[in-house]
Amino acid sequence: QVQLVESGGGLVQAGGSLRLSCAASGIMFSISAVGWYRQAPGKQRELVATISSGGTTNYASSVKGRFTISRDNAKTTGYLQMNSLQPEDTAVYYCNVKMALTNYWGQGTQVTVSS
């Protein structure tokens, strides 16, 4: 059974930083792509960043240069380092792991940035 457990969300002031973690189990993590998505109230879920099994990264333009996605295959964990956070980054952040055309989702972690 695949499980994704997210952690690291919270309340931070504008300009601050947070690091989200996504611990995966029950999946061949090293050959999976990892992504982070977010959903703000009243808005659709949107892509934040992805990292392929080979380490290729992709970012939404709104976070490029501020957020960094990474992975540790030995720990079967994905990370999202978020710097220079702004109020518009406030959302529930979801971890996504994709393997063999199947998507798995975490439960989400709330990130709130105060101005």
State pLDDT tens for residues 50-66. 999 999 999 999 999 99
C-alpha span between 62 and 30 (Å, rounded): 28
Percentage of the chain lying above the pLDDT 70 cut: 100
Tell me what pLDDT residue 100 has.
87
Positive or negative: CA dihedral 60, 15, 105, 29: positive
Q: Residues 9-44: pLDDT tens digits?
A: 999 999 999 999 999 999 999 999 999 999 999 999
20 touches 9 (CB < 8 A): yes
Q: Do 26 and 4 contact (CB within 8 A), yes or no?
A: no
